[in-house]
Amino acid sequence: MNETIMLKDEALIPEGLSRCSLFKFSLWIFILLLVVGWGLLAAFLIFWKGLNQTNMNDYFGFALWITFDLAVIALGAGAFFTGFLTYLWGKKELKAVINFAVMIGFICYSGAILILTLDIGQPLRSWYGFWHPNVHSMLTEVMFCITLYLGVLMIEYAPLVLENRKINANAFAHHFAHNLHQLMFIFAGTGTFLSFFHQGSLGGMFGVMFARPFAFRGGFFIWPWTFFLFIASAIASGPAFTVLITSLTQKVTGRKLVKPEVLALMGKIAGSLLIVYLILKFADTIYWAVVNLPARGLSFMGQYQGPYGFWLVVAELGIFGILPAIMLMNAKLRMRPGWLALASLLSCAGVVFNRFIFTVVSLALPVMPFDRLVTYWPSWQEWAPTIAFLAYGALIISLSYRYLPVFPQERELNE
């Protein structure tokens, strides 16, 4: 009797896979929705009353949200880079994680765009970037590329949604998904092209600010060095983030989802790229400290003041840079899931730190000698949408994990 009135969703769950009870799942979704609701409440206040609801000011025009956007876009680079390695570089073993990497990318980019709409003073004018574009602005390039790339991610995510058992029973959906799969190398290529440019332009945004000595860098042709550094750090941390979230999902679900050697390969790729990035970053930092800053009458140590002290450099380049690079390059550690996850976490924290430093410290430092250092702490209306984004990500992952065949190796690994 009970069975007949209880709601069941087995018909939607991929064949041969076991999932938790619908009740447990619903409870989890309910908690996530509460957090999302909290973020929506803050978003409503921002749209209604304006950005005075935040703790931003005329010194901190960029703050938590821009740090967050830059960080999640860098971490979301796992999608395009794994796609590039899988479809264009020929690393077929990465097909085991490509679905998940694309999904993480989709979450990161859609979340970043949603937060960006909150972050501009006139959200209803956000389309002006397309209507009155200033081709000299790095931000214009970012606006074009992230919007287009979100479209690419949606196309890449679509076949997975169409592979849901119920949807796939429809002949059109089945063939459409199949054909999209066949064409995926084109979208992987498009995504790679778009991503390279907007990851770079996000760095370029800071590097071109020639009147902000903390951020300004020289460069090649129209691109400041930060353009290339942001690409390098994104492709290093993106795969690490995919490994981290996969490890976390395995821990939460208690199931093996991806073969350890595939994750170890991702870790090795992330580690190798992190080393390349760190070499470039050290070279850039030394040149900046020895040439750029003194030319403007500034010293290297003078750039680290108050709470934004030298510890940021030690944390960013040491604890969250060199340390994870060593860990990821160690073959034995890579094969141990806990260590691999820790190294990935440290690497991801490094890119978050880097984006934080470029966003917040660049603006906190006074340029006029008689001006003062300002510090900033976000208001709850800024924290809420940011935390709600994490819940939104967990929501998409939870729903996809339950109802879509995200991990092709799951059945084999749990038999």
Indicate whether 51 belongs to the interface with another protein (CB under 8 A): yes
Indicate whether 4 belongs to the interface with another protein (CB under 8 A): no
Indicate whether 268 belongs to the interface with another protein (CB under 8 A): no
Touching another protein, residues 152-211 (CB under 8 A): 205, 208-211
CB of 172 to another protein, least distance (A): 40
Look-up of token digits 């038999």: 415
From 15, 134, 220, 221, residue interacting with another protein (rule: CB under 8 A): 134
CB of 298 to another protein, least distance (A): 5
Burial of 404 (0-12, 13-18, 19+ CB in 10 A): buried
Nearer of residues 89 and 144 to another protein, judged by Cβ: 144
Indicate whether 221 belongs to the interface with another protein (CB under 8 A): no
Nearer of residues 27 and 301 to another protein, judged by Cβ: 301
CA–CA dist 400, 181 (Å, integer): 18
CA–CA dist 312, 321 (Å, integer): 12
Please list, in sequence order, all residues whose beta carbon lies within 8 angstroms of the beta carbon of residue 194, skipping any fewer than 6 positions away.
Answer: 80, 145, 148, 149, 152
What is residue 219's DSSP assignment?
E
Indicate whether 254 belongs to the interface with another protein (CB under 8 A): no
Touching another protein, residues 351-370 (CB under 8 A): 362-363, 367-370
CA angle 235, 153, 26 (to 5 degrees): 105
Q: What does each C-alpha distance from 130 to 12, 141, 144, 151 come to in angstroms? A: 40, 10, 7, 15
CB of 131 to another protein, least distance (A): 8
CA–CA dist 328, 220 (Å, integer): 31
Nearer of residues 277 and 358 to another protein, judged by Cβ: 358
From 136, 171, 220, 415, residue interacting with another protein (rule: CB under 8 A): 136
Q: Sign of torsion, CA 162 164 166 170?
A: positive
Indicate whether 62 belongs to the interface with another protein (CB under 8 A): yes
Q: Which residues bind another protein (CB under 8 A)?
A: 50-52, 57-62, 119-122, 125-126, 128-129, 131-134, 136-140, 143, 205, 208-213, 294-299, 362-363, 367-371, 374
